[in-house]
Structure 1
């Protein structure tokens, strides 16, 4: 199975971590920003990361890929089967993909992607809005729900944790980490998920890449 994209994308990183927590082997092939093999363009007709290939099956979008992987290998189930737990898990994924993702778009794109990879200045107004308006709301909310167990649902790793932690890695890469002094529970929670083997290697590689860029 092949995932197309870059682990710098929170959606690609989420997909890679989900596969790892499932015990599924996937290969990451670099794609995006107009590049990538022909299969990527077939899998993702609008060029969005991640794309995915399993034999003759091609699809894009992290949620669609994760849904496929969950059905392909039901155990361990990372999307709970109990109705309320499942609904809450999907809420957390949506929270991560859309609400945290919007903040990542303002901060990470303009502080990292634009200057380092596109060689152009980022939108400083968007950065300021993301850092001073959006980010505080995110961490305030996470501080209220971050559990002592270290996991958001059923006291075990699920898609909820995998989804929520991923975009915070981007924000940290962009110089906007969670402050453990003001938000200790949120900081410890995200750090704990990103320290898992499914995430730690990717995050370390990204830090090295950004340091060299």
Structure 2
């Protein structure tokens, strides 16, 4: 399987984590947003990452890809068959993609993507406002929802819910965001535990090594 994108994207990191759990061989072909690469654009008509080419079957959108992988490779289960548990997994996947990611993206884009990859100033005011006003509201909600470190969001095993919710926290870390352990102890402990899980740890370690190599300033 070919995966188009960069693991710096939480959406791509999510797909890589699912493939890692399923022990599916893949090749990551690095592309950027709206990349003109014809193979990528054939798989992603909107020019967004991630996209895949699985022996000629092309598909875009991280959630669609994860559901495809789950159906094609059902073991181990990441999207449970129980109706209530499946509903909760889909909820957390959607919450991560549509609530946590847009807020985190304001910090990651303006503090990392713009200055480091695009070589232009980011909007520091936007990033700071998102961290000061938007993120605490999200963390307040999550503090009452996430389980203890080492436990899982849905049921007693790892699921797509855990992968989807944890992945954006790597980007927050890359953007210099530190979760207040006194105000949000459960969120901090759970996210650190999940980012250390084998399905995510490899991507996160490579990304951190990259930032250390280029000497990117991170608080």
- Pair in the same fold by TM > 0.5: yes
* Contact 1:168–1:177 (CA under 8 A) maintained in structure 2: no
Q: For 1:141-156, what aligned pairs fall within 5 Å after superposition?
A: 141-148=141-148, 150-156=151-157
Report the CA distance between 1:79 and its aligned residue.
Answer: 0.5
Separation in 2, partners of 1:137, 1:24:
37
Report the CA distance between 1:34 and its aligned residue.
Answer: 4.1
Please say which of residues 24-33 and 46-55 is displaced more in the overlay.
Answer: 24-33
Separation in 1, partners of 2:36, 2:16:
18
Report the CA distance between 1:139 and its aligned residue.
Answer: 1.3
Report the CA distance between 1:36 and its aligned residue.
Answer: 6.4
Q: What are the ranges of 5 or more consecutive residues in structure 1 without an aligned counterpart? A: none
1:48 partnered with 2:53: no
What's the RMSD between the two structures over aligned residues? Answer: 1.3
Report the CA distance between 1:23 and its aligned residue.
Answer: 2.0
Aligned to 2:212: 211
* Contact 2:108–2:172 (CA under 8 A) maintained in structure 1: yes
Q: For 1:63-212, what aligned pairs fall within 5 Å after superposition?
A: 63-148=63-148, 150-212=151-213
Extract structure 1 runs of 4+ deviating beyond 6 A: none
Which string of whole-angstrom CA distances, capped at 9 and with x for unpartnered residues, describes residues 135-190 of structure 1?
11121111101113620000210000000000011001101132223211111111
Separation in 2, partners of 1:114, 1:210:
14
Which string of whole-angstrom CA distances, capped at 9 and with x for unpartnered residues, describes residues 109-145 of structure 1?
0000000000111112211221011111121111101
* Contact 2:90–2:161 (CA under 8 A) maintained in structure 1: yes
Separation in 2, partners of 1:36, 1:171:
28
Separation in 2, partners of 1:165, 1:49:
18
Please say which of residues 80-89 and 17-26 is displaced more in the overlay.
Answer: 17-26
Separation in 1, partners of 2:16, 2:132:
30
May I ask how many residue pairs the two structures share in their alignment? 213
Which string of whole-angstrom CA distances, capped at 9 and with x for unpartnered residues, describes residues 71-117 of structure 1?
00111110111111111111100110010011122110000000000
Q: What are the ranges of 5 or more consecutive residues in structure 2 without an aligned counterpart? A: 215-219
Separation in 1, partners of 2:147, 2:166:
14
